[in-house]
Amino acid sequence: MLPSHAEYRSNLVIATGHRAEALSRQGDYASALPLYTWLLTDETDPAMRAGITARIRALTMVAALRDMRDQFDRAGPHAPPSELVSSVYAQIPEATAATTCVFFHIEKFDARLMGQLRGRSGDQIDLRDVLRDSVKAARLTNPTCRVVILTDRHTALPQMDGAQIVRLPLQSDRLIYEKTLAYYALALSARLTGPIVYLDTDICVNRSFSDLDFTPFDIALTYRSDPDLPEMPVNEGVILASSSAAASRFFGLCLGIHDLVCAAAPVRERYAFDIGTWWGPQLSIAAFCDWQVPPKRAEIDDIRGLRCRFLPCEQYNFTPSEMPIRAHLTDKWIVHFKGPRKHWMAHYLAQYQS
């Protein structure tokens, strides 16, 4: 028996959705966009319409930005932030470490962006406790690592497991941009020798970096397979560099792209705020790799003179969906407690010592 018109229409919608998603994963946004637009005309559920609309807006922005790739390719490294570099140089003695873990924390980050964040129990989360837990996890899994915390001149931070606190003359109105600028200054100072791992402060390092071979790459980035975030295929919460020289070139190039991305009309249409406060650096990293991650590009690829390795978030920047049990996550290098998951960090850290 032939299917009814309603059944045929339903099957067509499902097939079109699968095809649109496949094209989006392949980076063929020009072919995916008309399919999503057709799906929007057929969809009546408000939540589904909102999701499709968000996907269309994201793909439209990425397609327009990819048309600017020649401008991004011509963008040179950002000018060295001389004052920041001098400040880093004066505070950090040169020393060799097996690995250096770098964190960034500013008090106004709490107040402006995360101050109302609550855990799943409803309790307020103090991001200084989150940072302390991140430092402890890094120390427990990598006892010989060096830990550096970059901050401004005003944030009150207690000493944390021997971490070196470096105070810089930072502006707090573009927090995430300033974080990248601080990373750039630290790399340019060349005070760190050996591999460097740049980490968000809501992360628990789960394994020893001594087991990770840094020699095949200059920079390693963690990529996500989530088709709902085509504009940000790389998560900047974990960045690995084989040396200060590699890190300085990478962050310099990304900052050189940053201003172009922020000023681009598609970005200003997509976001109603200055993306330097939040999404700008992540979009700049996406532009750096032309929004191409595996399987669309090789796991190790040469990008603008840097050997870049792409590591799957599922293993190297894992975000749990429920209270994690460490014994079940032995293959994960890093566990990332995004958003309200930060409330789970203390419980997870306690499992390191049990």
* DSSP notation for 16-35: HHHHHHHHHHHT-HHHHHHH
> What residues are paired with 197 via a beta bridge?
101, 240
Examine the domain organization and report whether 151 and 273 are in the same domain: yes
User: According to the model, what pLDDT value does residue 275 have?
Assistant: 79
User: Is 336 a member of any domain?
Assistant: yes
Examine the domain organization and report whether 311 and 168 are in the same domain: yes
Examine the domain organization and report whether 54 and 83 are in the same domain: no
Examine the domain organization and report whether 201 and 334 are in the same domain: yes
User: Is 74 a member of any domain?
Assistant: no
Contact 261, 283 (CB under 8 A): yes
User: Is 184 a member of any domain?
Assistant: yes
User: According to the model, what pLDDT value does residue 320 have?
Assistant: 95
**Of the candidates 237, 253, 141, 140, the residue with the CA atom closest to the CA atom of residue 197:** 237
Put residue 256 in one of left, alpha, beta given phi > 0 → left and psi -120 to 50 → alpha: alpha
**Amino acid identity for residue 209 in this structure:** F
Examine the domain organization and report whether 212 and 335 are in the same domain: yes
Contact 298, 317 (CB under 8 A): no
User: Is 72 a member of any domain?
Assistant: no
Residue 37, CA distances (Å) to 43, 124, 270 in order = 10, 41, 17
Rounded Cα distance, 119 and 296, in Å: 37
Which residues, including other chains, have CB under 8 Å from residue 190's CB and lie 6 or more apart? 94, 244, 245, 248
- Tell me which residues of the chain have a pLDDT lower than 50: 110-122
- Show which of 40, 67, 94 is a domain's final residue: 67
Examine the domain organization and report whether 94 and 46 are in the same domain: no
User: According to the model, what pLDDT value does residue 354 have?
Assistant: 66
Domain total of the chain: 2
User: Is 73 a member of any domain?
Assistant: no
User: Is 116 a member of any domain?
Assistant: yes
Examine the domain organization and report whether 137 and 177 are in the same domain: yes
Which residues, including other chains, have CB under 8 Å from residue 183's CB and lie 6 or more apart? 102, 104, 150, 198, 239, 247, 251
Examine the domain organization and report whether 23 and 147 are in the same domain: no
User: Is 234 a member of any domain?
Assistant: yes
Full domain range(s) for residue 20: 5-67
In the chain, pLDDT over 70 holds for what percent of residues?
A: 93
- Show which of 14, 47, 67 is a domain's final residue: 67
End-to-end CA distance of the chain: 63
Examine the domain organization and report whether 60 and 89 are in the same domain: no
pTM for this prediction: 0.90
Examine the domain organization and report whether 220 and 295 are in the same domain: yes
Examine the domain organization and report whether 111 and 30 are in the same domain: no
The separation between CA 37 and the C-alpha centre of its own chain, rounded to angstroms, equals 29
Structure tokens at 3: 């299917």
Rounded Cα distance, 247 and 237, in Å: 15
Examine the domain organization and report whether 95 and 237 are in the same domain: yes
- Show which of 21, 39, 67 is a domain's final residue: 67
User: Is 244 a member of any domain?
Assistant: yes
* CATH number, residue 281: 3.90.550.10
User: According to the model, what pLDDT value does residue 112 have?
Assistant: 46
